[in-house]
């Protein structure tokens, strides 16, 4: 038996419209963590499917795949830039909207209609955010996912045919109660560390995190290492600052710092000691921004999603340090 190689696949994608469409959707999945690689995308999708299945919530995986397809079809209808389309840049925000909707809303027919609509809208928002950020020379990152999802999720508090599930209720933040230092034994450190990369896809599963890391590794060992380091830094910093232990254990303090670490450490700056230090500062700040956004979104009853990553990475890109 002969495995198809990457160049076999590329050749197929050029000759066949169907394979080309599959290819750009797989790349779209890969672009969630900056990888223009269909095999990476396939492994990311497997991570989502495994995690959703293990949690008994297949809707998250179905939503992610449906929304990925809809977002890319919308980009084709809008005659979006061909090159960006082929690199999967119109898919990743849709995929995330599609994973978020069934995570935070009940599976009513209205939710599924809005999931499809939200996926289409994510492409419009991607085009708009890209146009705005181009004027300052920065990419859209996952801002279209965050904006679109926040709009749909907070609307659920006004719309009776959507069911709130897995978020809220809206509440004012309270001064946290200093907890006794957690025993290392009581905190499943390894689980928390691996769930960070999985939670990028809203999946609460360590094995999914391993699949995400493998997906990164087949495309870029450096990105896989950056993700593991970013998750480790997030784990240490969130424990040291006294963040909520259940949130840490679920990987909720890890996913945004992982994205920041990969973006700044492995994508946008060439490797150097100063770039590494700069990325470390940004990764630590992303943990604090995650804590900030958790408190700031509480009165609205919505999740922070990847807003901490977007905010910090934008700041650290726009600063344009001479690295």
- Binding to a second copy (CB under 8 A) within 159-188 occurs at 159-164, 168-179
Tell me whether residue 43 or residue 252 sits nearer to a second copy (CB atom).
252
Q: For helices 58-77 and 92-104, give the axis angle rounded to 10 degrees.
A: 140
Q: Are 128 and 134 in contact (CB under 8 A)?
A: no
Under rule CB under 8 A, residue 190 binds a second copy:
no
Q: Which of 291, 305, 307, 310 binds a second copy (CB under 8 A)?
A: 291
Contacts with a second copy in 50-89 (CB under 8 A)? 77-80
Exposed / middle / buried, residue 126 (Cβ in 10 Å: 0-12, 13-18, 19+): buried
Exposed / middle / buried, residue 131 (Cβ in 10 Å: 0-12, 13-18, 19+): exposed
Q: How far is the CB of 146 from a second copy (least distance, A)?
A: 13
Cα–Cα distances (Å) from 218 to 30, 44, 173, 195, in that order, read: 11, 11, 42, 19
Total residues in contact with a second copy, by rule CB under 8 A:
73
Contacts with a second copy in 89-148 (CB under 8 A)? 110, 114, 117, 120-121, 124-125, 127-129, 131-132, 135-136
Q: What are phi and psi of 302, to 5 degrees?
A: -120, 160
Buried b / exposed e across 258-272, counting CB within 10 Å, b at 16+? bbbbbbbbbbbbeee
Contacts with a second copy in 260-289 (CB under 8 A)? 274, 278, 281, 284-285, 288-289
Q: How far is the CB of 300 from a second copy (least distance, A)?
A: 6
Q: How far is the CB of 214 from a second copy (least distance, A)?
A: 32
Q: How far is the CB of 196 from a second copy (least distance, A)?
A: 17
């Amino acid at each position: 038996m002969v495995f198809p190689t990457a160049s076999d696949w590329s050749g197929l994608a050029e000759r066949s419209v169907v394979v080309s469409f599959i290819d750009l959707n797989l790349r779209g999945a890969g672009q969630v963590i900056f990888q223009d690689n269909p095999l990476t995308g396939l492994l990311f999708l497997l991570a989502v499917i495994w995690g959703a299945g293990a949690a008994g919530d297949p809707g998250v995986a179905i939503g992610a795949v449906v929304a990925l397809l809809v977002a890319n079809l919308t980009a084709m209808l809008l005659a979006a830039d061909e090159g960006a389309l082929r690199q999967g840049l119109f898919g990743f925000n849709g995929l995330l909207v599609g994973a978020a909707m069934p995570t935070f809303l009940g599976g009513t027919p209205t939710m599924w209609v809005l999931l499809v609509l939200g996926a289409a809208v994510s492409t419009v928002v991607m085009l708009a955010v890209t146009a705005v950020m181009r004027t300052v020379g920065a990419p859209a990152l996952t801002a279209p996912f965050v904006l679109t999802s926040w709009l749909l999720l907070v609307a659920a508090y006004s719309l009776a045919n959507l069911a709130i599930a897995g978020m809220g209720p809206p509440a004012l933040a309270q001064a946290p109660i200093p907890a006794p230092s957690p025993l290392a034994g009581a905190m499943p450190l390894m689980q928390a560390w691996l769930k960070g990369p999985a939670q990028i896809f809203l999946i609460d599963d360590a094995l999914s995190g391993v699949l995400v890391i493998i997906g990164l590794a087949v495309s870029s060992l450096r990105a896989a290492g950056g993700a593991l380091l970013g998750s480790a830094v997030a784990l240490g910093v969130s424990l040291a600052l006294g963040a909520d232990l259940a949130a840490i254990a679920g990987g909720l303090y890890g996913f945004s710092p992982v994205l920041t670490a990969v973006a700044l450490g492995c994508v946008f700056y060439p490797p150097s000691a100063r770039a590494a230090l700069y990325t470390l500062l940004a990764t630590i700040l992303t943990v604090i921004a995650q804590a900030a956004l958790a408190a700031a979104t509480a009165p609205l009853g919505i999740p922070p999603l990847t807003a901490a990553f977007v905010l910090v990475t934008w700041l650290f890109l726009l600063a344009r340090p001479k690295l």
